């Protein structure tokens, strides 16, 4: 039987407000996505995942949903959505949308009603005195509880404008099953589930042990066993539609074993494998992550970048003198990731080798993390700066006219536009296109396991029959393993010698 489409897919994450702006208001939108779909088809990805575009006050970039069944006017209309999906499908691209079941926006009608004292059992309200009901901290900093003027407290694991739903209430289940059907009926191919391990909280809402709020199963906040029943129900809905609809969970756990629980055959199809993204630039660390991932035997996924983390070009270059090392490593890590069995998630701009924008002035920063930490934590705006498409000055083709994009783009991005890189065979964009093309050609013939080959200590060599991948994380050049042909490398490779911070794909006998 042929593998389902998502098993070896390359999925491209679109953070809609920073991707492409067709309306000319400085904010990306669905019509902008639609216009740029041919670029994505040419890049060679199989699917797109759209971060939330639903009605929202945008306190947390749309992860604060006020209406799960409508498009925010900032991003367009439901008709724009339908037209975008139709074009995507026409181009052979699948469409995954985000679903945010842990919390709504405070502007959601249910929470508005709760503020008036109606239907509070849909959220987590508790009596309390002047102190919060327990010691839980918000992921964005500060207490996870906010007190209303009438004295009751409500729980928000994120911003106070994101009240947590009460998943012990059947009405919440019914609502989300209906929301799933709403988007499935509109033709989406899958869902990315936000904070998928967060929905249930331990009965009685006991204090967390002091210290770090680990994602362990023993935590009263994360990974409660009851959550699995939700995904069993969701799986039934997905399976009731034709065309291999799927779900990928944003599941943060402490171990690959805990992660595997979400991937049982009647639950989620995939989950993000954040261990790869969190690993430092080290052959040992990469090898551990790969081994841990492969050992669980469930549909592996790989991801280096998303709208919540510092871009890999900057992450891998942190503290280094040579300013080009970060990009070299990001390209090598990407090539390595694309050689592994399973599916890979790319984040917009990764194909352009964009760095994190670290010097955004405080007054333009919008991530609630910045404000809630009193400006101590920069937050995630630096990886959300609108994409540079063309031209030599802001907005670099992001918007049709000379409008200011919602976050300023740095002048250095003139050299990194998609247009400029398209005509440069040595660019990161050209490199990504080539890697994705080769991956497509080979993937059907490759086994879903890897075999490690002997390598020098700071390098990794692994093989999947006719494809061998070599990556050098050390400081000395290493000799490549025997091969018939060099298929692609992340930086020039000569005379069979792999320089530091470089990866290569080899055709092997
Ligand atoms: C994870 C999302 O990726 C992030 O952007 C958001 O802030 C939190 N979940 C809360 O919804």
SS (H, E, C) 445-457: CCCCCCEEECCCC
Which pLDDT does position 46 carry in this prediction?
A: 98
Which residues fall within 8 angstroms of residue 222, CB to CB, at 6 or more apart? 197, 198, 213, 214, 215, 216, 252, 253
pLDDT at residue number 323: 84
Closest CA to 302 of 262, 264, 273: 273
**How far is 404 from 394, CA to CA, in rounded Å?**
7
Which two three-digit tokens encode residue 383?
């990886």
Phi, psi dihedral angles at 201 (to 5 degrees): -115, 150
- Which helix (H) or strand (E) segment holds residue 295: the answer is helix 283-295
> 57 CA to middle of ligand 1, Å?
15
Sign of CA dihedral 48, 54, 59, 64: negative
Query: DSSP label at 481?
Result: P
Q: Torsion over CA of 327, 333, 336 and 342, rounded to 10 degrees?
A: -120
Answer yes or no: same fold for 109-155 and 448-507: no
The DSSP line for 163-201 is PBB-TTSHHHHHHHHHHHHHHHHTT--EEEETTTT-S--
132-135-136-138 Cα dihedral, nearest 10 degrees: 70
Q: Which protein residue's CA is at the shortest distance from atom 10 of ligand 1?
A: 63
The number of beta carbons lying within 10 Å of the beta carbon of residue 328 is 21
Q: Where are the domains of the chain?
A: 5-102+170-434, 109-155, 448-507
- Supply the pLDDT for residue 215: 64
CA 374 to ligand 1 center in whole angstroms: 19
The one-character DSSP state at 139 is: T
* Per-residue confidence (pLDDT) for residue 216, from 0 to 100: 64
Q: Report the pocket of ligand 1 as residue ranges, CB < 6 Å.
A: 60, 63, 100, 158, 194-195, 250, 307-308
Residues in the chain predicted with pLDDT less than 50, given as ranges, are: none
Domain 5-102+170-434 has CATH 3.40.50.1820: no
pLDDT number for residue 255: 83
Which of 194, 272, 371, when mutated, tests ligand 1's pocket best, judged by the most ligand atoms within 8 Å of its CB? 194
Q: Ligand 1: which residue has its CA nearest to atom 3? A: 308
Instruction: Supply the pLDDT for residue 394.
Output: 96
Task: Please report how many Cα atoms fall inside a 13 Å half-sphere around the Cα of residue 155, on the Cβ side.
Answer: 27
Which tokens hold the place of 151? 């004295």
Residue 127 CB neighbours (<10 A): 8
Nearest CA, atom 11, ligand 1: 63
Within a 10 A sphere around the Cβ of 126, how many other Cβ atoms? 14
Atom of ligand 1 nearest to the CA of 380: 5
Q: Cα–Cα distance between 21 and 33 in angstroms, integer?
A: 8
The H or E element spanning position 146 is strand 145-147
Q: How far is the CA of 249 from the centre of ligand 1 (A)?
A: 12
* CB-CB contact of 56 with 98 (8 Å): no
Distance between CA atoms of 382 and 357, rounded to whole angstroms? Answer: 4
Cβ-based burial of 265 (10 A; exposed 0-12, middle 13-18, buried ≥19): exposed
377 vs 367: CA distance, rounded Å = 10
Q: Closest Cα to atom 4, ligand 1: which residue?
A: 308
Work out the number of other CB atoms within 10 angstroms of the CB of residue 89: 14
Cα 166 to averaged position of ligand 1 atoms, centre (Å): 18
362 C-alpha to ligand 1 centroid (Å): 21
Yes or no: say if 400 and 383 are a contact pair by the CB < 8 Å rule: no
Contact 9, 58 (CB under 8 A): no
Q: Ligand 1 atom 6: the closest Cα is on which residue?
A: 63
Alpha-carbon distance 46 to 439, whole Å? 11
Its CATH class, for the domain covering 448-507, is mainly beta
Question: Which residues have a catalytic role annotated?
Answer: 194, 250
For residue 169, the model assigns a pLDDT of 98
Radius of gyration of the chain (CA): 23
pTM over 0.95, yes/no: yes
Tell me the CATH number of domain 109-155, given options 3.90.400.10, 3.30.460.30, 3.40.50.170, 3.40.190.10.
Answer: 3.90.400.10
CA dist 81 and 30 (Å) reads 6
In 318-477, alpha helices (H): 325-339, 368-372, 418-422, 428-443
| Cα 486 to Cα 7: distance, rounded to the nearest angstrom | 26
């Amino acid at each position: 039987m042929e593998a389902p489409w998502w098993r070896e897919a390359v999925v491209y994450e679109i953070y809609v407000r920073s991707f492409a702006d067709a309306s000319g208001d400085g904010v990306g939108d669905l019509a902008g996505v639609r216009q740029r779909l041919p670029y994505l088809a040419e890049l060679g990805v199989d699917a797109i995942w759209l971060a939330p575009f639903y009605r929202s006050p945008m306190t947390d970039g749309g992860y604060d949903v006020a209406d799960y069944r409508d498009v925010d006017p900032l991003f367009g209309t439901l008709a724009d959505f339908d037209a975008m999906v139709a074009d995507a499908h026409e181009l052979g691209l699948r469409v995954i949308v985000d679903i945010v079941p842990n919390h709504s926006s405070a502007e959601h009608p249910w929470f508005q009603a709760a503020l008036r004292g109606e239907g509070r059992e849909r959220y987590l309200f508790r009596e309390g005195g002047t102190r919060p009901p327990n010691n839980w901290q918000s992921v964005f900093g500060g207490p996870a509880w906010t007190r209303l003027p009438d004295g009751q407290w409500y729980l928000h694991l994120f911003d106070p404008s994101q009240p947590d739903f009460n998943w012990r209430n059947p009405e919440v289940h019914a609502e989300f099953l209906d929301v799933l059907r709403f988007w499935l009926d509109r033709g989406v191919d899958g869902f990315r589930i936000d904070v998928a391990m967060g929905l249930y909280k331990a009965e009685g809402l006991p204090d967390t042990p002091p210290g770090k709020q680990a994602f362990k199963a023993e935590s009263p906040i994360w990974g409660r066993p009851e959550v699995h029943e939700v995904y069993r129900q969701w799986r039934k809905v997905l399976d009731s539609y034709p065309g291999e609809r799927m779900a990928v969970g944003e599941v943060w756990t402490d171990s690959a074993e805990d992660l595997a629980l979400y991937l049982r055959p009647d639950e989620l199809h995939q989950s993000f494998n954040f261990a790869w993204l969190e690993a430092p630039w080290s052959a040992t660390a990469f090898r551990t992550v790969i081994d841990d991932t492969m050992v669980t035997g469930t549909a592996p996924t790989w991801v280096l970048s998303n709208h919540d983390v510092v871009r890999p070009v900057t992450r891998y270059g942190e503290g280094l003198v040579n300013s080009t090392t970060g990009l070299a490593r990001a390209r090598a890590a990407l090539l390595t990731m694309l050689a592994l069995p399973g599916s890979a998630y790319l984040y917009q701009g990764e194909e352009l080798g964009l760095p994190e924008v670290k010097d955004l002035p405080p007054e333009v920063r919008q991530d609630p993390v910045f404000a809630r930490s009193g400006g101590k934590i920069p937050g995630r705006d630096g990886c959300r700066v609108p994409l540079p498409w063309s031209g030599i000055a802001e907005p670099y083709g992001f918007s049709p006219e000379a409008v200011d994009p919602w976050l300023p783009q740095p002048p250095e991005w003139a050299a990194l536009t998609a247009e400029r890189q398209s005509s440069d065979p040595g660019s990161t964009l050209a490199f990504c296109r080539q890697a994705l093309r080769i991956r497509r050609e080979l993937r059907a013939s490759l086994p879903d396991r890897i075999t490690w080959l002997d390598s020098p200590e700071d390098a990794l060599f692994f093989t999947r029959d006719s494809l061998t991948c070599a990556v050098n994380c050390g400081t000395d050049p290493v000799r490549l393993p025997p091969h018939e042909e060099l298929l692609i490398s992340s930086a020039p490779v000569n005379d069979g010698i792999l320089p530091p911070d470089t990866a290569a794909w080899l055709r092997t006998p």
